[in-house]
Amino acid sequence: MKLAILSRNSKLYSTRRLVEAARGRGHSVRVLDPLRCYMRIQPGGFAMRYKGNPVSGYHAVIPRIGASITRYGTAVLRQFELMGSYSPNPADAVLRARDKLRAHQLLAAAGIGMPATVFGDNPDDTADLLAMLGPAPHVIKLNEGSQGAGVMLTEKLSASRGVVEALRGLHAQFLVQEFVAEARGADLRCLVVGDRVVAAMRRKAPRGEFRSNLHRGGTASRARPTRAEQQLAVRATAVLGLEVAGVDMVRSSAGSLVLEVNASPGLEGIEEASGIDVAAAIIDHVGQRGRGPG
């Protein structure tokens, strides 16, 4: 199989592990910086070049597209798809996952358990918007943040109003969610590949912090999700049209609730915590599903 990995940096842990796993299975693999890919779009004639050379014939493409280049990166990924390449996470699915508001709407419509969430635009509606959610504490999230960036906890209603007003002044898009106190700063990440959870880890926030992201100083340990949690993770991934995803959830008094579905999950933390070769599982899945461009 001829495989491309869209990544800005071939030295990043996740990218490097995917390359190692692909080459270990005899696949031809190349890392392409999506910002150096450029396209010609014409009816019946989609073409792409990379640093002056034509790009063609890739059976499959694995996107490792950072949030800061989502728009251009997904355009490049879509061009590959139009040229006949398979991707486990198609461009439109990546866009659905990156837009937290859209993702929450789709997950809720499918009956996926999640914290109550509110969204509004007009400052005149702030008081009633927060009343729809209920009493503080509240979690306020930027709509396109990642790795815990742009996520704030407000302990009082007045603080929630202040943060909402400040974000509106910056013309930022954001969501406000109920805070699941019984999670005690811990969450569960399930790494879904295809129709199964291949690895899982429990992440715990450091003292004085409520975000459990490893980039925020959280710690990780191996986890054994219940069968119901595995099914929930697989369903959430499928609802957004993804085949590879990191599904974050918290255990609440009402059961496990999905916080987010990450279309480009990091592999380092979960491979170290679980001891499982997640990169190999992804490459094996892509190898089974990949198809040639004709």
Q: What are phi and psi of 190, to 5 degrees?
A: -110, 125
Q: What are phi and psi of 218, to 5 degrees?
A: -70, 160
Nearest one of 109, 131, 125, 138 to 239, comparing CA atoms: 109
> Do residues 271 and 17 touch, judged by C-beta distance below 8 A?
yes
Model pLDDT, residue 26 = 96
Sign of CA dihedral 247, 60, 98, 95: negative
Strands 244-252 and 255-262: antiparallel
> Do residues 265 and 174 touch, judged by C-beta distance below 8 A?
no
2-95 classified as CATH 3.40.50.1100:
no
**Cβ atoms within 10 Å of 106's Cβ, excluding its own:** 18
The residue written with tokens 């926030």 in the block is: 205
117-179 classified as CATH 2.60.120.380:
no
Model pLDDT, residue 124 = 86
H and E: helices and strands count for the chain: 9, 15
* Domain positions in the chain: 2-95, 117-179, 182-282
Model pLDDT, residue 175 = 92
Strands 196-204 and 186-193: antiparallel
Model pLDDT, residue 240 = 98
The residue written with tokens 């997640």 in the block is: 278
pLDDT along the chain (294 residues), means of 10: 97 98 97 98 94 96 95 98 97 96 96 94 90 93 71 92 89 90 88 98 74 62 96 98 97 92 96 97 94 49
The residue written with tokens 């006949």 in the block is: 84
182-282 CATH fold: D-amino Acid Aminotransferase; Chain A, domain 1 (3.30.470)
Model pLDDT, residue 220 = 85
Nearest one of 27, 76, 24, 72 to 55, comparing CA atoms: 76
Model pLDDT, residue 171 = 84
